[in-house]
Amino acid sequence: MKNTIVIPAFVLLLAFSIAAQVPTRTNPDWAFHVINGQLPAEPAGPKTIPNSKRQFTQAQIDDLNNPPDWFPEEHAPAPQIVKYGHGDALACGACHLMSGSGHPESADLTGQTSAYLIQQLEDFRTGARKDSARMNGIVAGLSDEESRKASEWFATLKPQAWTKVVEAAMVPKTFVGAGRMRFVTPNGGMEPIGNRIITLPQEQERATRRDPHSGFIAYVPPGSIAKGEALVKNGGNGRTLSCAICHGDNLMGLGNVPRIAGLHPIYIVRQLYLFKDGFRNGPDAQLMKKPVEKLTDDDVLSISAYVGSLPPVK
């Protein structure tokens, strides 16, 4: 008998979220994930992860209004909106995790100032920053107090080394499954990486359980980290500006200019394209208009590979 795989409504919503960020010109599907496959259904029953005393069913893990907090002792008490969603305002911890590190298809919020995070929420609210299928709708359902409390709480969380960046000429064949996460295709073999960044969970089972202690591997083309370093540090002979001018010498942020060191490489790719295409157009985004104006697709990949490879420490 064949197993029937049911695609939950929340999975389809996640697919639409990334698709809604893709401008009319073609952007790389390896960074702007759209679901094109499914993992087999998880067996029923409670799930556990290493070193946590808690357990949740997969349905509970996938509840975007009440995400699992595997290690509540590792952070200060979270605001209600981080733990529990209401209406269109989903719980922040569902996509960004209760650690704040998020998954590659969302964003790592750790190490950012509360003022920066509040401004991003305001940009989503006004439409200056566009994510019409997800964040614009979520923020529309938030009160000013919820936005402030969530931002202040995430700003207390410490960055961690979350993505290991590895140069590789060959990578496993993959698909994008539930939650817009990329997985290895079973028995799919290997393929050339080409001009892509392929990000995979270090441990698939732990990633699908939203384990905040299990990170990711980003495979990047050979030579891309060195090319990115030259662009980031020296501007590539006028193609861009040194990132340290605004983001600080270690790229850990300067005032309310955000930390970029150690962020998910494909998140950085998406943001550079969104700056180029006007999907990020808030007050702070104006500083990025000139730096991204002349960047090629190869430049965007290389910068993201290098910046993502840096340790997120001051």
Check: CB of residue 121 under 8 Å from CB of residue 151: yes
Q: What is the pLDDT of residues 54-68, one digit of tens each?
A: 999 999 999 999 999
Q: What is the pLDDT of residue 309?
A: 99
Which runs of consecutive H residues, i.e. helices, occur in the chain? 9-21, 58-61, 80-83, 92-96, 114-126, 135-140, 144-154, 204-208, 224-234, 244-247, 265-276, 289-293, 297-309
Reduced 3-state DSSP string for 43-106: CCCCECCCCCCCCECHHHHCCCCCCCCCCHHHCCCCCHHHHCCECCECCHHHHHCCCCCCCCCC
Which segments in the chain show pLDDT lower than 70?
Answer: 1-25
Those residues whose C-beta lies under 8 Å from the C-beta of residue 77, and which sit 6 or more positions away, are: none
Q: How far apart are CA 169 and CA 271, in angstroms?
A: 25
Q: What is the pLDDT of residue 233?
A: 97
Burial status of residue 145 (CB atoms within 10 A of its CB: 0-12, 13-18, 19 or more): exposed
Q: In one letter, which amino acid is 234? A: N
* Topology classification of domain 9-154: Cytochrome Bc1 Complex; Chain D, domain 2 (1.10.760)
The secondary structure element, H or E, covering residue 163 is strand 163-167
Q: In one letter, which amino acid is 111? A: G
Considering the domain 163-309 in this protein, what is its CATH number?
1.10.760.10
**pTM (two decimals):** 0.91
Q: What is the pLDDT of residue 132?
A: 79
Q: What is the pLDDT of residue 14?
A: 46
Domains of the chain: which residue ranges?
9-154, 163-309
What interhelical angle do 297-309 and 224-234 show, nearest 10?
90
Q: What is the pLDDT of residues 22-32, one digit of tens each?
A: 555 578 999 99
Find how far residue 305's CA is from the centre of its chain.
14
Q: What is the pLDDT of residue 23?
A: 53
Beta bridge partners of 306: none
Those residues whose C-beta lies under 8 Å from the C-beta of residue 25, and which sit 6 or more positions away, are: 277
What interhelical angle do 114-126 and 144-154 show, nearest 10?
140
Q: In Å, how far are 50, 235, 283 from 110, measured between CA atoms?
A: 23, 27, 21
